Amino acid sequence: MSLSLWWWLAARVSAALVVGFLAGLPFGYPAIGVAVVAVAVLVRMLYLLRSTQRWLRGFNNAAPPDAGGAWGELIGLVARLQRRKQYHKRRLMRLLRELRRSTAAIPDGVVVLNPQGEILWFNRMAARLLHLRARTDVGLRIENLVRQPEFIRYMRSGEYTLPVVVSATIDKDLFLQIHLVPYGDGQSLMLVRDVTRAQRLEAMRKDFVANASHELRSPLTVIAGYLESLGQDPSLDPALAGPVAEMRRQSTRMTSIIEDLLSLSRLEAGDGAAERTPIDVVGLIELLHRDLGARLAQGTRVQVDITSTVRLLGDEAQIHSAFANLVDNAAKYTPQGGVITLRWSSDATGALFSVQDTGIGIGPEHIPRLTERFYRVDPGRSRATGGSGLGLAIVKHVLQRHGATLEITSSEGHGSTFSCHFPIDRLVTESREA
Amino acid sequence: MEAADLSHHTSRRFNEDLERVRSKVLAMGGLVEEQLAGALNALIDGDSQLGQAIAKKDYQVNGMEVSIDEECSRILATRAPAAGDLRMIVATIKTITDLERIGDECEKIALIAARLANDERPADHYREVKHLGRITRTMVHQALDAFARLDAELAITTARSDRVVDEEYEAIQRQSITFMMEDPRSIRRALDIMWVVRAMERIGDHAKNVCEYVIYMVHGKDVRHTSLERVEQEIRSRNARP
């Protein structure tokens, strides 16, 4: 409001007072004339104040009071402010509505949770997949409504890098993948996706591998049996001796691939953690050492370095096959004159089984992919050594089921070390055992 | 008493205590639901391993009952709750007893399933049992939903579906008797199936009890041993009054 308006107001009020004074003069009471005018001015001001207040409060959609001068300016300013605010509000509302509409249209379920895990908002797909109800469920804790133990464990674990798959409660054929994504001040976004199809395909794949390998085993046994008697037959044409020997080698290899496939699919089928029988790791290593000594090339040495007698709680057959696979690999890739070292040690954080060789080593680009099925560092070489390509996949699965991790360090030309780290809760000391 | 009032409280710690107990009850409910689903799947798919695994897991349900019971006693002793909070604690103590019994019935079903898996499958592939199983599972699920949402309406409709469970139970019973008369060799299996459906019928009753505790918790009205129609009428009339 410009200053001149104030002057104008002051001038008008004083002019009115002068008029009052002059009007009262002929009657001899100029003071009363001034008072009457002053009261009139006050009444008008109060009236304007009241109608402004009513307008601002929004009574009966009252229009802004019609007043000139300073009041008019004041009211005009307020009206402008209000219009601007309304404009921004409308724009924000429109933006928000667009945003909501687009998130509602996402084909995955989306739920927004506050730090206490209470529902703040969810879209239509989430309502459908999790059976949430729009009107009543905002403000309820998500774990009270999505009660699958699997999900509750996931929620409380605080470890949200991977999603969790749960089966829907009522409809057992429906599988949901739930992923929590924390953001902002402890809030989190919960993404829900129907993965029934993928889950079914995965089950079919596992079934197929298990059945196919099982079905292949019996014909192969017959073939291997005939090849064996054929190889030992003295009346066999010497020209066929070579091919028959090669056929026998290949059938042995095929058998080992099928055995590995079967044990891998067994490992996949059994879900959850492995059992907890105490395993005498020291005895196991000595056994592996003896087996290894019998087949190693001349001049290759084996060292055993055991600094711990703790026992491992696990599935003995599985652990044996995992350790044997690691030792096998070391034997295969260590040239004559090399050294293989088997270690077993423990400390306050867990235990470590490692196999170190002085073989050809593995390039760093191959290490992350080593545990993939049928992954070959060098296709030609691996075929020659006769591995199934499944050994390390089996090791990885066994260790996973025991809560352990596999660490591979290697430098090309100098050899590799494969280490299995077992967590402390999988260990038991001998004294407590006895 | 409005449902929302239960979640507001002057003392934040107290409020958190109550919320934690509620979440624990529902987590226990989730476990029981999973046990029930697993036991039924073991029976229908003839999976004896799954049956054994489910029976072994029942101790978890029992453990949760003990822990929630202790927590409720602690709250009663240290906080001396009143009105709605007191009703919630009382209803919780009763609910977990029923949930634990549902867990026991699931164990029973799982053990029978493990035994039946070795026998020949019946010609109808347990069609009736499957159907009854779906109804009981839905009942348990809805009873727990009503508990989570403090939804008395849902509790009433769920409690009413107990009648369907009873009817199905009767039907399967009659059918089993026919089977037994037709072929005496099937008596053993038919008796086992009778135990299974009996367990499911009991599960329906326990789910109904949970629904009644929800109504008690929300409306402060003990509706055990009252007909559902009367309960509904009373609640309607109370809601109609301002």
- Cα A338 to chain centroid distance, Å, stands at 43
pLDDT at B4: 46
* A169, A175, A176, A207, best to mutate vs chain B, most B CBs in 10 Å: A169
Average pLDDT over residues B62-74: 91
Say yes or no for a CB contact (<8 Å) between A140 and B148. yes
Across A50-64, A338-352, B167-181, least confident range:
A50-64
Q: How many CA atoms lie within 13 A of B76 on its CB side?
A: 14
pLDDT band at B211 (very low <50, low <70, confident <90, very high): very high
Whole-number pLDDT of residue B242: 46
**pLDDT at site B120:** 73
Which positions in chain B have a beta carbon within 8 angstroms of at least one beta carbon in chain A? Answer: 7, 19, 22-23, 26-27, 29-31, 33-34, 37, 41, 134, 137-138, 141, 144-145, 148-149, 151
- Verify whether the Cβ–Cβ distance A172 to B37 is below 8 Å: yes
Categorize the per-residue pLDDT at B10 as very low, low, confident or very high, splitting at 50, 70 and 90. Answer: low
* Residue A170 confidence (pLDDT): 73
For residue A301, the surrounding DSSP H or E stretch is strand A301-306
| Contacts with B23 from chain A: Cβ below 8 Å | 141, 143-144
Task: Please give the structure tokens belonging to residue B129.
Answer: 């049992």
Shortest Cα distance, chain A CAs vs residue B180, angstroms: 31
Domains and CATH numbers, chain A: 3-101 (no CATH), 106-194 (3.30.450.20), 198-269 (1.10.287), 277-433 (3.30.565.10)
Q: Which domains does chain B have, with CATH numbers?
A: 3-240 (1.20.58.220)
Interface test with B, best of A119, A147, A174 (most B CBs within 10 A): A147
| A85 or A274, higher pLDDT | A85
CB nearest B30 (choices: A137, A140, A152)? A152
Residues of B in contact with A151 (CB under 8 A): 30
What pLDDT is recorded for position B94?
93
A221-278 pLDDT per residue, tens: 999 999 989 888 888 888 888 888 888 888 888 888 888 888 888 887 766 677 788 8
In angstroms, the separation between the Cα of residue A132 and the nearest Cα of chain B is 10
- pLDDT score for B241: 52
User: Among all residues of chain B, which has the CA nearest to that of A138?
Assistant: B149
- Say yes or no for a CB contact (<8 Å) between A144 and B23: yes
Q: Which residue has the tokens 């849902």?
A: B154
pLDDT tier at A375, thresholds 50, 70, 90: confident
- Chain B: give the shortest CA distance to residue A359, in Å: 44
Instruction: Record the tokens describing residue A296, joined without a space.
Output: 């190693």
Are the Cβ atoms of A139 and B144 closer than 8 angstroms?
no
Local structure of A313: helix, strand or coil: strand
In A58-195, which residue ranges form alpha helices assigned H by DSSP? 69-105, 124-130, 142-145, 149-157
Enter the tokens of residue A234: 């003295």
Residue B2 has pLDDT above 50, yes or no: no
Question: How big is the A-B interface in CB pairs under 8 Å?
Answer: 47
Q: Mark yes or no for CB contact B30/A149 under 8 Å.
A: yes
Reply yes or no on whether the pLDDT at A382 is more than 60: no
Contacts of residue A421, defined as CB under 8 A and 6 or more positions apart, other chains included, come to A350, A351, A352, A404, A405, A407
Are B200 and B193 spatial neighbours (Cβ–Cβ below 8 Å)? no
Residues A312-334, mean pLDDT to the nearest whole number: 87
Q: Please, where are the H alpha helices in B57-118?
A: 58-79, 83-116
Using alpha carbons, list the distances in angstroms from residue B238 to A278, B1, B85, B210.
64, 11, 21, 22
pLDDT of residue B1: 41
Bridge partners, residue A342, by sequence: A304, A355
**Quick check: A147 and B144 CB within 8 A?**
yes
Examine the pLDDT at A342 and tell me if it is beyond 80. yes
Reported ipTM: the value is 0.81
Contact at CB, B137 and A169, closer than 8 angstroms? yes
Contacts of A144 in chain B (CB under 8 A): 22-23, 26, 148
Q: How far apart are CA A270 and CA A82, in angstroms?
A: 67
Mean pLDDT of chain B: 85
Kindly identify which residue of chain A lies nearest to residue B36, measuring between CA atoms.
Answer: A169
The average pLDDT across A70-77 equals: 79
Q: Three-state SS for A174?
A: coil
Looking at per-residue confidence, does B165 or B80 come out higher?
A: B165
Name the closest residue on chain A to residue B135, using Cα atoms: A170
What is the spatial distance between Cα B205 and Cα B203, in angstroms, rounded to a whole number?
A: 5
Q: Residue B238 — pLDDT band, cuts 50, 70, 90?
A: low
* Mean pLDDT for chain A overall: 84
Look up residue A147 and give its DSSP letter: -
Q: Count CB-CB contacts under 10 A for residue A268.
A: 15
Residue A137 to residue A119: CA distance in whole angstroms: 7
The pLDDT confidence band at residue B166, using thresholds 50, 70 and 90, is very high
Of A141, A145, A172, the CB nearest to B145: A145
Confidence class for position A432, pLDDT limits 50, 70, 90: very low
Q: What is the pLDDT of residue B31?
A: 92
Separation in Å, CA of A403 to nearest CA in chain B: 20
Residue A381's pLDDT is what? 61
Task: Find out whether B13 and B87 touch, Cβ atoms under 8 Å.
Answer: no
A152 CB neighbours in chain B (<8 A) are 27, 30
How much of chain B is helix, strand and coil, in % rounded to 5?
A: 85, 0, 15
Copy the structure tokens of residue A133.
């109800």
| Cβ within 8 Å of residue A244, ≥6 positions away | A227, A230, A231, A236
Q: What is the mean pLDDT of residues A294-323?
A: 85
